[in-house]
Amino acid sequence: MRPNPKKTSRGVRFGQWMAASWRPNLLRPFVLLMCMFAVATMMVALVNNMDWKSFKHLAFDSGYSHVKVIKSESDTRSYRFFVLPNGLQVLAVSDPTADRVAASMDVSVGHFSDPEDLPGLAHFLEHMLFMGSKKYPDENQYSAFLAQHGGHSNAYTAAENTNYQFEITPEFFRPALDTFAQFFVAPLLRDTSTVREVKAVENEHIKNLQSDGWRMQQLKKSVCNPKHPNHKFGTGNLQTLCNNTYAGNMANRCEGTLAALRSFYRRHYVAPRMRLAVIAREPMGEIEDMVRESFSSVPADGGLKEPEQWDAPVRPESARGARMIRLVPITDQRLVTISWQLPPMYLAFRQKAASYLSHLVGHEAKGSVAALLKKRGLIESLSAG
């Protein structure tokens, strides 16, 4: 199976299947599949006619302080949603039986917001936040503490959000959470860390060059409308993050990048654009106290209070009809991907139109497109989403 690259574009969904062979009679089942996609597209058109403005407050309204969490009768965990004075929204979970505890922070900014002259800046910032804070200045303190106590961390940068997460054994949750919080309170973003982390981003890029999934993703980006942020090179590399034409050393070449990085952080990493989820063993009151103590200092002002929006279509304005692109793979595989643009589904998250569509297209039961193509020996698998 191809690797799963980071998410690329809000409102873009695709169906794909692995072909067992590449034979001319494959075209006949394609017609049936395309009919299903046509029906799906018509259903999406109904969604397009909805009044999206009426849903916007559901995604971004932070003016409420209490939400009742609906859970299963068999769920013994306790839940509480609350909003800190700085606008940070929090979902806390108390589970006295948990053998692992965790936290995840999601920030509503991703590589769509990269400056045109610095592709990969959001991803680079993700790396830099691990490199120490004013309260915990040691670059290795966070990772070392987690490793010493059976924990680990991860992070990823997507198109419109960046996510940070960790888990650890229950006894060490409080100090781990406080160290984690400082990512968003006062990170150092030191010049001494810049060169090393740019090289880490470069190594990621080199690895991705040998991945068919990443190559396909970048190919699709390259044919997007240049006015839409989906065309941007989200991962970044040494060439995009530092001035390769400058003859000086690496530190001097990256000097301008560090200034842009700090400006990007101040502009986008503000509490109203963050969502925190935590699960711990402690009683709910103690969990809330921990969160308030560690995260109330996250800046609330000085940046954009809401995510950026883009009105340009994903496809070039000059594009007419469908477009077929063939890519020679690195690995021995035959993969067909059909992509089409949908409206921003998060604005109507209760309706879950995209989930219904992907379920119908990707269904593999008797009588489905997948079952028919498998019976004829034309595919190995089909997925949609």
Can you state the angle between helices 284-295 and 173-185, rounded to 10 degrees? 30
Q: How do the residues of the chain divide into helix, strand and coil, expressed in percent and rounded to 5?
A: 40, 15, 40
**CA–CA dist 363, 151 (Å, integer):** 37
What tokens were used for 254?
A: 């990256």
Q: Which residue has the tokens 């993703």?
A: 217
| The 274-280 sheet, strands edge to edge | 78-83, 89-94, 274-280, 101-107, 162-168, 152-157
List, as one string, the DSSP characters of 275-310: EEEEEESS-HHHHHHHHHHHHTTS--SSS-SS----
The reply to whether 116 belongs to the active site is no
CA angle in degrees (0–180, nearest 5) for 301-307-309: 140
Instruction: Name the catalytic one among 73, 126, 160, 288.
Output: 126
Contacts of 146 (CB under 8 A, 6+ apart): 152, 153, 166, 168, 176
The catalytic site residues sit at 126
